[in-house]
Homo-oligomer: A and B are copies of this chain.
Amino acid sequence: MRRSERLVYITKYLLEHPGETISLKTFVTALGAAKSSISEDVALIKGAMDQMGLGRVETELGAAGGVQYLPGREGERALALAWELSTRLSDFQRVLPGGFLYLTDVVFSPRVAARVGEVFAARFHPCRPDYVVTVETKGIPIALATAYSLGVPLVAARRESRVTEGSAVSITYVSGSSRRLQTMSLARRALPTGARVVIIDDFMKAGGTLRGLQELLTEFKAEIVGTGVLMVTADPPEKLVQDYLALLVLEEVDEVGQEVRVRPSSWLRQEGGEEP
Q: List CB contacts (< 8 Å) of A105-163 with chain B.
A: 105, 108-111, 113-114, 136-137, 140-141, 144-145, 147-148, 153-156, 158, 163
Contacts of A17 in B (CB 8 A): 111
What's the Cα separation between A15 and B12 when bound, in Å? Answer: 8
Known: A4-B7, A108-B156, A156-B108. Contact between A96 and B12, CB under 8 A?
no
- Judge if A28 is at the interface, Cβ distance under 8 Å: no
CA of A24 to CA of B196, assembled, Å: 44
A179-212 contacts to B (CB < 8 Å) = 187, 189-190
Interface residues on A, range: 35 or more
A residues neighboring B (CB under 8 Å): 3-5, 7-9, 11-12, 15-17, 44-45, 47-49, 51-52, 54, 96-98, 100-105, 108-111, 113-114, 136-137, 140-141, 144-145, 147-148, 153-156, 158, 163-166, 187, 189-190
Closest CB in chain B relative to A142 CB, distance in Å: 10
Given contacts A5-B52, A137-B140, contact A189 B155 (CB under 8 A): no
Whether A52 and B9, one on each chain, are in contact in the complex, defined by CB atoms closer than 8 angstroms, is yes
